[in-house]
Amino acid sequence: MIGAKRRYGELLIQLLLFREAAGGELPPEDEARMVSELDRCWREMSEEERQESELGFAGRPVPPAPDSLHEEDLVVPDGSRIGPRRAA
Amino acid sequence: MYLTAHRVVSPVSLDEGINSFLYLHGPHTWQGVPPTDAPDTNPGALVAKQIVVPPPGNRVRSYLDVVAPDETPWAEVRQSFIRFLAEAQREPFPWTGVDGRCLFRIGLDAGLAAQWRREIAFLFRAAEALRIGRA
Task: Read off the pLDDT of residues A6-45 as tens digits, 9 standing for 90 and up.
Answer: 888 888 888 888 787 777 788 888 888 888 999 899 899 9
- Contact residues on chain B for A64, CB-CB shorter than 8 A: 92-93, 110, 113
Q: Please give the average per-residue pLDDT across B42-51, as a whole number.
A: 97
Instruction: Look at residue B117 and give its three-state secondary structure.
Output: helix
pLDDT for A55: 66
Burial of residue B57 (number of CB atoms within 10 Å: 0-12, 13-18, 19+): middle
Residue type, A79: G
pTM of the model: 0.87
Q: What is the ipTM of this complex?
A: 0.90
Distances (CA, A) of B38 to A11, A44, B21, B75, B105: 29, 40, 15, 21, 12
Interface test with A, best of B10, B96, B109 (most A CBs within 10 A): B109
Interface test with B, best of A7, A11, A20 (most B CBs within 10 A): A20
In A, minimum Cα distance to B126 occurs at: A21
Identity of the residue in A62, A78, A81 whose CB atom sits nearest the CB atom of B116: A62
Confidence of residue B126 (pLDDT cuts 50, 70, 90): very high
